[in-house]
Amino acid sequence: MALTYKALAVLLRYPDRDVQQLAPDAAAAVAAEALVPQALLRAIGALADYLGSGDLMDLQERYVALFDRTRSLSLNLYEHVHGESRDRGQAMAALLELYRSRGLDLTANELPDHLPVFLEFLSILPAADAASLLAEASYVLAALADRLKRNDSPYAALFEALVALADDAPDEKALKALLEEAADDPSDLKALDRIWAESAVTFGPADAQCPGAGTQDTKTNTSRLGRSPRASAAA
């Protein structure tokens, strides 16, 4: 079990008073556990300072523009793999079942593929299992890190740290396919309306087509973030 994952989850949460208060301790916990490359610790500390000392309304506005209104930077992992297709609902159902098999129950408004939720789950696993699961998402995390760096966002360091924590390098073809997708503009509200005007995803453990549901093996009941369908088609 690694406190680093929980600390990174705190820093990735929607900024509120609790996050502001916890940010310095979260950065200190990452530094103390020493799982993240030394070169990234200063940047993570700078993000904690930014969160801890910034104007809360400004922090919240920037967070929403970055992660909620920019779909190419969404913190919902399966969105980058499956979009809003039924496959995403089935994948989330399997992931939710995995969480429950390890004693993690989500609230009604939490999506299992939301990155801070996923990191909370990794924090309760043995280190090898956590690194293996994280590796399945590493190409998504690497794409997000690249986009955030191009936006000069202090959050980029968190994603670089997560890529470093994974036990395997990102799939290059899958990463290339994600990076070739056009980045959306959060200021173009009409375009955003068109992008988000898709059917809602439903999920749950009762879904008969849920892959791997009901098993408790960490390595087989993850719904496999794997390679993106776009990358597979391009391979």
What residue ranges do the domains of the chain occupy? 3-234
Asked if 73 and 144 touch (Cβ cutoff 8 Å), the reply is: yes
* pTM greater than 0.85: no
Residues 6+ apart with CB under 8 A from 191: 184, 185
Asked if 37 and 162 touch (Cβ cutoff 8 Å), the reply is: no
| Alpha-carbon torsion, ordered 111, 117, 121, 122, to 10 deg | 120
Tell me, what's the pLDDT at 138? Answer: 94
Tell me, what's the pLDDT at 2? Answer: 83
Tell me, what's the pLDDT at 104? Answer: 85
What's the chain's Rg over C-alpha atoms?
17
Tell me, what's the pLDDT at 86? Answer: 65
Regions of the chain short of the pLDDT cut 70: 1, 82-86, 108, 182-235
**Helix axis angle, 127-136 to 138-150, nearest 10°:** 70
Tell me, what's the pLDDT at 94? Answer: 87
